[in-house]
Structure 1
């Protein structure tokens, strides 16, 4: 009997206690706090709840705050309309097991089944999966942190005991305000039906949260999703930070891809358009394709000198890691390109090696929207080049976008590379340095809506489960630009 107890002690120590200790104290394999001066993350566990979650969503919407909901799969299955609303309003949805049961009390295979079952519910309702996971009570076991299968385990930097009604709204608000600072990950609950919680406790949380959001607004602090806080660094999404949110295989692929890009740039002497955070590189070369009728009757012929553009894969990965959908990625990409086309124009004007070029030229799978900048979109001619370009760009898209594989599998007929070309005269007319009025006209909010409409109509039907994601991205992006 004594030996059995000793073995039980050893097993529980290595299976449960040590993993919990190293994750809580040292943050091993978990995310607990972000690095930001002006952004913090509100996270809500145990929901959705039919009484309190709608009130919470109304409150967040009123203050234009984004949050992360770690949902219990069983509750989400009972209230899919609340799950859909979370997603449609731009919040992040994470997994909190299918039932609220400690991972210490379940075998590894059972935990994996709980996670998969919950993600299945999320994907069925929203059209998207999730990589973010918070175990009930923040308790991890050995297998949670040793083999997380690409999932990011999220704990917290502050919790307030809001599951107990006896604390009261006033005291709860005081506790929360003491922790209100940039980088904080706050743990709250929008459901009081789990073991140890009081059913009416979320009402106090809502009262305290309203006060916190008001004070945060006065201090110019912004509530963001956990994934935003996780990747944020100096206004840009750090590649290093975002890489750590992916599994080891994807990290290896991205690292290898970026090394290949460096070699490619060196071999073909590509030059950056901008000194900092360039979106593309360029080089002069001779055009070898079929004749292209460009605008105003101009003709691009075989043998004409052109400027060939190559997108920077590091920047694409940064944009793709933060994009909520393909539409969102396309809009971000067009905005960055628009900002840097004047830099390209200036380089062409002052670079004697660029004299005589007839057009700028690129191949891309995200080719809806460049018309607003003056590009023309053309089909690639059938042949080896089109086949190689298709394979290359599809592989790249799988790497740079979190759901790249799913997008490619679902939308094979539209995710094809095309040629985008702009006469050099058009580049000068629209983006000549000093002619800011023309450049500003090249892409405005009306054009953005045109891009979204085109992408929506060509890539997705309104009944498709991804439609809500695109509409949410469109709304969030339009609001941020206004």
Structure 2
């Protein structure tokens, strides 16, 4: 019995804890990028003489780059495919010499696998590989130290594509649902490893071709992992510098100047207690995003959304689109961290509103394309939200409506005012000063209006023409009033 306990202790330290901290906390590994348009497709277990050439052909047709984590023995047998990967601009990483878990190999055996595979790749391409993915993403405690010269790369999404029963259609649907910037997709271009099906890569290639087409429609770029890592490092540094400038703690002269122009430092500085409250609130927001499966709009730095069934009163929008209870809508959520930064840089509620309008205007084309491509099978009728900062929304094509009297309205009013007091450094005083102006309202935009924003110039022209045209007929206005009265007292969202 004592021996079993010692074995358990050894495995815990050698394998379980390193695997846990790398997967959950991202210790010494790269899992997800911070990008505006870029996604990384990664392929394990190859190269395969049948499927890898077909995959490379598909990537070439769409001018897409990918990353191949190759098994050394397979690379040794197919040097022409390794050479082609390199010549066509793809990144090549190490996936051990044979596909065997690091948990069941000694540290020196793992190191020997990695060195041998590295030498094979370098002998073919003339370039030493910089990236490593352990089979099944499993590391042992010695990997962090002895593989220090390599970047360990995991993934954000895997789809079980090593099994042919998943099928091309189902695989494509799963990939499309996770189709957002910064993602690292785990896929396979060979099917003869333990637990895999030899025919499975055919389904993977079929699904990838459809995803490449969707990426073109969305304006996304498929990049190798080295480019995604470099972009992520640059974007994180820029974001950190921006935060430091907003807080008055440094940053480059350009960032500080932009912050001053935006009004940074003109508001009351948040004290230590307020900073702790803001930090706790941001942690809750991250948990909220996970619990309710919010999707990012674009890179997710300003807005997120989820598809829900509308639960409010029937409404008629400016273009006569009708929104009824049970219709699918995209419920929009401002990113509270972005709201806090905007609040720190603003002198007044008007400045906050202007910044939000500008950011929303930039986000609308992304929202439209994502609904059209990622959620094409869902009949989303409108985008929808509730906001206390809603001045100027009509100028973008939104319709705004008061919340219906009732418990939901009172709770929403209280919640949004609490949120305002948290995200703005002078929030509590602002709520007291402008209590009558801070009215939460429903904002909606029909899908037809939203689609116009795929061409911003056309959308602005249509809105300008609508403003110059006649007002809605009295009959339409009366019908809208009737619909609002019919829904009085009903909860807005179920």
* TM score, norm. by length of structure 1: 0.49
* TM score, norm. by length of structure 2: 0.48
